[in-house]
A = this chain, B = another copy of it.
Amino acid sequence: MNVPIKSTLDPEQQRITGDALRASVVDLIDLSLIAKQAHWNVLGTHFRSVHLALDELVSAAREFTDSAAERATAIGVSPDGRAATVAKEAAGLEFPDGWQQDTEVINAIVDNLTTVIRRFRERIAATEKADPVTQDLFIEIAARLEQLHWMWQAQLSTA
C-alpha cells in the first residue's frame, strides 16, 4: 500500500489502529445501508415510530463512518468504503429481502447492533496501547450505539 500521508504513529501502532478503523468503516456503512433498507421496507402498526427511529440510526452510522474514515486518513491509512468491499468484508450483519413486519425489523436491528457493538468493544481494547486518540473515537461510537441498542431493545422487552 502506498502511504503518502505521514503518520505520527510508529508502523506497528499504525497497522493495529489502521486495521481497526478500516473494518469499522465497512461495518458502519453496512449498518447504515441496512437501516435505510429497513426504513423503506417496514410494515405494521408501529411503522411511523420505527421508520423515524431508523433514520436516526442512519444518521449516527453515517456520521461515525466519516469519523472513522477520516481518522484512518489522519494516521496515514487509506480507508475503503466501496460497495464491493463492504459486500465482501461484511462481518455478519444481515437483513432479509422485501417488505418486513415491524417487530421483525426491531429484532433484526437489535441483533445487528449487538454484533457491531461487540466488535467496537474489541477495538477499544485493541487500540488502548496503540493509539488512545483512536480509542477515544471508538468509545464515543460504542456509547452512542449502546444507547441505541437500549432503545431498540426497550421496544421488545417487558417489565
Contacts and interface: CB of A to CB of B under 8 A. Distances in A.
A114 interface: yes
Interface residues on A, range: 35 or more
By DSSP majority rule, is chain A's interface helix, strand, loop, or mixed?
Answer: helix
A79 B40 contact: yes
Given A83-B90, A98-B2, A136 B136 contact: yes
B40 A78 contact: yes
A133 B145 CA distance: 11
A81 B105 CA distance: 15
A159 B30 contact: no
A29 to B, nearest CB: 7
Contacts of A70: 40, 147, 150
A152 to B, nearest CB: 9
Interface of A: 1-2, 4-6, 8, 29-30, 33-34, 36-37, 40-53, 65-66, 69-76, 78-84, 86-88, 90, 95, 97-101, 103-104, 114, 117-118, 121, 124, 132-133, 135-137, 139-140, 142-143, 146-147, 149-151, 153-159
